[in-house]
Amino acid sequence: MRFFRFVFLSCLLPIASVAAAVDVPSKIEAVTVYMEGAMVTRVSRINLSAGSNEIRLTGLVDSIEVASLQAEVASDAVQIGQINLTSEKQRDAIDSEVVALRSRVDETQRSLQVIDASSNAAKLRLKFLEGIAAGYAKESWFEGTRGTADIASWRAALDLLQSGSEDAHGLIRQNEAKKTEVNKDLSLLIRQLAALRGKTKASSSVELTLDARQSTTTELRLHYYQEDAEWAPRYEARLDSNNGNLQLLQVADIEQQSDEDWSAVKLTLSTSAPEGELIAPELDSEFLDLVEPAPRRKTLMRQSAVMSNDANGFAEEIVVTGSRVRADVGGFAVRYAVPGSSTVTNDADEPVTVELAKFNFDTELVTQVVPRESTQAFLAARFIYNQSVPLFGSSMAVFVDGVYAGESEMPSALPQSEVVLPMGQDRRVEVHSQSQGGADGNAGIISKRKTETTDYLFEIINRRDSASHIEVQDLYPVARNKSIEVEVPRTATAPTERDLDDKPGLVVWKKTLGAGESWRINHQYTISYPAKSILRKN
C-alpha cells in the first residue's frame, strides 16, 4: 500500500483535468475512536484508465477537517496528484424530507399545546366548582342555623358538584395519557430529523487526480477526523471472598454525535490523544536576588516572633514533610480492535458498550481500618497486575460474593504493578475506638511548655469464620519546628510500619486475626511546645 497525505491547496494550485470528474460511491469501512474524536475511513472501488483520471467522492459530511484529510491507493501503478475538498448545498430531495419532518414536528407540538389547553380548562372548572361548593356550603350552614334548610336541594347540589368534579378529573387523566404518547412520537420525529443533520445544511465532496501507468481497478481509502466522538473504559470487579478470586471485566462505552452513522464498521478503540499538545512546554530563565528585610517595630515584637516560628517551620517543611512526586500513568497508547462489525449511531440515547477484556486474579484480601475517622472496616483486594497491556483508571462497579456493593474507582495500572481495589465495607470485622482522656497541661519551671496528650484504645474483633488480615492506620504528628517535640510512651503499641506510602507520620499496625479473635492497640503520643506559642495543626 502506498500512503500519501495532503493539505488543501486549491487556492494556490488549480486542478488541471483532461476530463470531467467521475462520481464514485464510497462507504465507511472502519473507524478508530480516541478518548476524544475519531478517525473515519471510507473505501471506494475505482476503475482507472491509463493516464490522468479525475474522480469525485460525493455526499460526505461537511465537518471534515482539511488538515486531517488523508488518501491512499492500493496499487503501485497509481500516483495521487491534486486533492480538493469542496462544500455543497443540500439536495432538493433532502430539502423536501427535512421540510416534511419539521412540519410533522410542528404539528405534534401543536397537539401538545391543545392537550395542555384542555387540561388547564379542566383545572379552571375544578377551581370554579370548589368556589361554588364553598359558597353554597356557607349559605346552607346559615339556613341550617335558622331551621330553613332544604335537604333535597343540598343533595342535588352535591350530586351536581361531584359529577362535574369527576368529569374534570377524568379529562385531566386522559390528557396526561395522551400527552405521554404524543411526547413519544415527538421524540421519534426529533431523532429522525437529527439523523439528517449531516445532509440538512451542507455536504462535502473530495476530488482527486489519479495518474495511472496502465488501466487498472483498485481501492481508494479516504481518512478524515471527526470531533464529536469519544469512548471511555469502565470496569466491573467481582470478588469471591471465600477463595480470594477476583474477576475484573473491562468494557468500553462508545458514543458519537457526528454528522453520520457508523453502520457495520470495523471498530478500533485507541487511548491516543490527537487533541492533546504535541510540543513540550518551554521554560524561561529564573533569577535569584537578596534584599534587606524591613526593620520591625517593638509594638510588633510578639507578632513577629510568632511569624518567625512559622517561617522557620515552613523552611523546615521541605526537609521533614517532602514526599516523592508521583507521576500519572501515561506516555503510551493502547489500541483495542473490536471483533466483528459494529454499529454506532449518532442519535442514540445511550452509549454502545463493548467488552474489551476479562481477567482473573488471585488476591490477598485485607481489611483496612482507620478507627479515629470511622468505626467501619473496609475490605480491599490486593494483587499483582500481570498483564502486558496497561489499564486506564475509570469508574468501577463492585460486587462481593454476588451482591452489588456500590461504585468505586479503578486506578490506572501498569504491567507488573501492585493494585489495591476497594471492595466496600467489611461488616464481619468489628471496630471500637475509645478515647482514654488524654490530658493537657504545663511543664517546666524556668521555660514553661504546654503539653497535649492523645490516648486512644482501638479494639478490632474478627467475626469471620476464617482468618482475616487486618491493617489499622493512624498517624503521629510531624514537627515542623525544632521547638515542638512529639514523644511516644513505651506503653503505646509499636506500629508495624512508619511513613506509610512515603507520607511522614502515617503509621500502620498489621496482624492476622483468627476467627473470633480480638486485638487491642494503644495509640498514644504527647506534643509539647513553648507555652507562649500557638500550636497550629494542618
Q: What does the pLDDT read at residue 93? A: 47
Per-residue pLDDT band for 196 (boundaries 50, 70, 90) equals low
Supply the DSSP symbol for 156.
Answer: H
Q: What does the pLDDT read at residue 169? A: 84
Q: What does the pLDDT read at residue 487? A: 92
Q: What does the pLDDT read at residue 170? A: 85
pTM reported for the whole predicted model:
0.60
Task: Find residue 150's DSSP bridge partners.
Answer: none
Q: What does the pLDDT read at residue 360? A: 94
Q: What does the pLDDT read at residue 54? A: 92
Q: What does the pLDDT read at residue 199? A: 47
Q: What does the pLDDT read at residue 39? A: 92
Per-residue pLDDT band for 278 (boundaries 50, 70, 90) equals low
CB atoms within 10 A of CB 374: 12
Q: What does the pLDDT read at residue 154? A: 61
Q: What does the pLDDT read at residue 44? A: 93
pLDDT digits (tens, 9 = 90+) for 92-148: 445 677 778 888 888 988 888 999 888 888 888 878 777 776 666 556 555 555 555
Segment 186-194 long-range contacts (CB within 8 Å, at least 24 positions apart): 186/105, 186/108, 186/109, 186/112, 189/101, 189/104, 189/105, 189/108, 190/105, 191/347, 192/101, 193/98, 193/101, 193/102, 193/105, 194/346, 194/347
Closest by alpha carbon to 221, among 74, 65, 75?
74
Per-residue pLDDT band for 164 (boundaries 50, 70, 90) equals confident
- Helical (H) or strand (E) element with 499: none
pLDDT digits (tens, 9 = 90+) for 30-87: 999 998 999 999 999 999 999 999 999 887 887 787 778 889 999 889 999 888 888 7
**3-state SS string for 82-101:** EEEEEEEECCHHHHHHHHHH
Question: Which percentage of the chain shows pLDDT scores above 90?
Answer: 36
pLDDT digits (tens, 9 = 90+) for 336-374: 888 888 999 887 778 889 988 899 999 999 999 999 999
Task: Pick the more confident residue, 163 or 180.
Answer: 180
Q: Which three cell numbers stand for residue 121?
A: 380548562
Contact 118, 171 (CB under 8 A): yes
pLDDT digits (tens, 9 = 90+) for 229-243: 999 999 999 999 888
Q: Please give the distance of CA 36 from its chain centroid, rounded to a whole number.
A: 13
Cα distance between residue 459 and residue 475, in whole Å: 17
